[in-house]
Structure 1
Amino acid sequence: MKAIVCKQYGPPSNLAVKDIESPVAKDHEVLVTVKACGVNFPDTLIIQGLYQFKPELPFTPGSDVAGIVKAVGSGVKHLKVGDEVFGFVMQGGYAEEVAVPANVCFKKPPKMDFPIAASFMIAYGTSYHALKDRAKLKEGETLLVLGASGGVGLAAVELGKLMGAKVIATASSDEKLKLCKQYGADEVINYKTEELKSRIKELTDGKGADVVYDPVGGDYSESALRATAWEGRYLVIGFAAGHIPKIPLNLTLLKGCSIVGVFWGNFAMKTPKKNLENTMQLMQWLGEGKLKPHIHKIYPLDQASNALEEMMERKVRGKVVIQCS
């Protein structure tokens, strides 16, 4: 089969399309013919050796897959050969075939196309877990989303609004913020042209944001934390800005607020029943037309490096997808 292979850590230009041996479905796995794989910001970190885990070289990146079940390992009861599915893998998605753990592989609704299915699991799974399980977001609270036009950020905007919050979206351009408004943001902040902390305070009548969703890190994290409300919850999703901020911990004391880590991948693997409950709720909302992933662009498999470069250059709004077969 054809796959994108990372033989040494570095930029996307290091990646190459190679013919490699197809995987085999082990116990409690299914072998999936991959039709599409979503591109996520951690993919850009993993290939550079900058993520919290480093796969053994060589490896194939990609986690958010959708396709057709080709083979079923022993112990798998809910899926069969020929089922159209979407699922999550730690690596291996940028390929024509991949073995997927059965407990994080789900039947795809017939009306959901493969690119949408490949844009769904990580972005919406992360954001819903963050807002529901980690922040315990309540109706009527104010949710601030940093990097709101990206894949997980846009999902957080959409879900926050659906869960009854007032949503403030932040991004680096008016074009990106226009998309956020289309996805339900009540207010927007361009943090390239506006002072973040003062605008948050202004938009919340001085109270601050009850929940901050931060997939960006970098220079804006401390400003957002300083604009968090009393007993607010600051969600650490990731560090798309490229560096991990150092936070003055006295701010948590003064505000009585919490800094809460969010690692959806581990949550999905360690507590599959809870993840299944979340996924079923998300699928219900999707079926009702209340959620709609935004596809920025679809690339063929042999242009996966271009997709990753576009992600690294902050040009993506919503999701980028690689068509694998």
Structure 2
Amino acid sequence: MRAIHVTEFGGPEVLRLVEVPDPRPEPGRLLIDVSAAGVNYADTHAVEDSYLSRSALPMIPGGEVVGRTEDGRRVVALADRYGGYAEMTSVREDLAIDLPDSVSDGEALALIVQGLTAWHLLRTVGRVAPGESLVVHAAAGGTGSLAVQLARIFGAGRVIATASTPQKRDLALSLGADVAVDADAEGLKDRLTEANEGKKVDVVLEMTGGPVFDESLAALAPFGRLVTYGMASRQTPRPVHAAQLMGRSRAVVGFWLMHAVGRPGMYREPMSELLEMVGDGRLKPQVGCVYPLTEAARAHEDLRARRTVGKLVLDTSR
């Protein structure tokens, strides 16, 4: 089969298309003929070995796939051993979810990591209460575009989006954000406060790190929560001291989706809810560019350069 094979850690240049042996059947696992694979920002970390879990070489990147099982079921699944950027892969049976025909490959891929992440950011760790103000950074991206919509569905108050270009900010507004501001770190705290009608904000969903994290923490109201779930800037924020949190009764909470996988009620159930919302039109995943498998490196380049919106997809047939 064709697959993207990584034999050395690095940037997009290490992603190479080669022929590798097909995966073999194993107890408790499903073989999937992959029709499409999702591209996540975490994949860019995995191929340079800078993510939360260590990568091992050689590797086939990619943590989410849509395809057909050997008995013909159409499923979306987390690829727990990576392996998604390929024409075939093997996944745990319990991580495969049957798909209705009404949900496209791209929509399903938008939900399995980014949709579940957005759901948990709001429900599980951010615990956004009805009427609370919410900041969604990178609101035109895969997770952010879903978080904006889910915030509206779940009854959040003022939803403030950040994005790097006017076009991305317009997209966030069209998805339900009340206001959208420039994502640049300089002066961000003041822009967020102004966007919240002069008040500090209740919850921030933050995946950039560095100065954006620092400014977001400074923008929190008493009892506010900053939920951090990414390191897109590859910059480390300043250390957070207990007095900073106690002094304004603020909280910083981390989230990584893999801690939810396998826990009762935290994987299949929210995924079922997300699929239902897509099916009845309440939730509209934003599918961005679809790249041929041969251009996986370009997908990583575009993602790292912030040239993308929505969910990025690799078409394994090309």
Within 2, Cα distance between the matches of 1:138 and 1:92? 38
Fraction of identical pairs, as percent: 32
Instruction: Choose 203-212 or 250-259, whichever is displaced more.
Output: 203-212
Q: Which amino acid aligns with 1:21?
A: P
Instruction: Specify which of 85, 102, 118 is matched with residue 111 of structure 1.
Output: 102
Matched position secondary structure for 1:255: coil
| Residue correspondence of structure 1 range 39-118 to structure 2 within 5 A | 39-70=39-70, 81-90=71-80, 91-118=82-109
Instruction: Report if the CA contact (8 A) 1:104-1:272 is conserved.
Output: no
- The structure 1 residue matched to 2:166, chosen from 141, 161, 174, is 174
8 A contact 2:6–2:47 mirrored in 1: yes
2:234 to 224, 242, 264: 242
Q: Separation in 2 of the partners of 1:203 and 1:147?
A: 16
CA RMSD in angstroms comes to: 1.5
**Uncovered stretches (5+) of structure 1, i.e. residues with no partner:** 71-80
Match of 1:74 in 2: none
**Partner residue of 1:281 out of 273, 278, 298:** 273
Alpha-carbon offset, residue 40 of structure 1? 0.3
Partner residue, 1:21: 21
Residue 216 of structure 1 corresponds to which residue in structure 2?
A: 208
Decide whether the 8 Å contact of 1:297 with 1:321 is kept in 2: yes
Distance in 1, matches of 2:139 and 2:209, equals 13
Partner residue, 2:246: 253
Kindly indicate whether the alpha-carbon contact (under 8 Å) linking 2:106 and 2:311 is maintained by their aligned counterparts in 1. no
Name the count of aligned residue pairs. 314
Contact 2:111 2:274 in 1 (8 A): no
Aligned-partner Cα distance in 1 for 2:227–2:199 = 18
Deviations 1:248-286 (A, max 9, x none): 323211121111111112211x31542111111111111
Q: Does the alignment pair 1:37 with 2:47?
A: no
- AA in 1 matched with 2:96: C
- Could you tell me which of 128, 132, 140 is aligned with 1:149? 140
Structure 2: runs of 5 or more not aligned: none
Given that residues 158 and 184 in structure 1 are in contact (C-alpha distance below 8 angstroms), is that contact kept between their aligned partners in structure 2?
Answer: yes
When normalised by structure 2's length, the TM-score is 0.95
Counterpart residue number, 1:75: none
SS in 2 for 1:120: helix
Structure-1-length-normalised TM-score = 0.93
Contact 1:37 / 1:323 at 8 angstroms: preserved in 2?
yes
Note the C-alpha offset of 1:233.
1.1
Which of these residues, 189, 196, 199, is aligned with residue 204 of structure 1? 196
Q: Give, in angstroms, the shift of residue 308 of structure 1.
A: 0.8
Q: 1:289 & 1:156 partners in 2: Cα distance?
A: 16
Q: Which residue of 2 aligns with 1:262?
A: 255
| Matches of 2:266 and 2:190, distance apart in 1 | 38
2:122 to 122, 131, 147: 131
In structure 1, C-alpha distance between the alignment counterparts of 2:89 and 2:312, rounded to whole Å: 19
User: 1:226 aligned to 2:218?
Assistant: yes
Is this contact kept in 2: 1:146–1:214, CA < 8 A? yes
Distance 1:155 1:25 in 2: 35
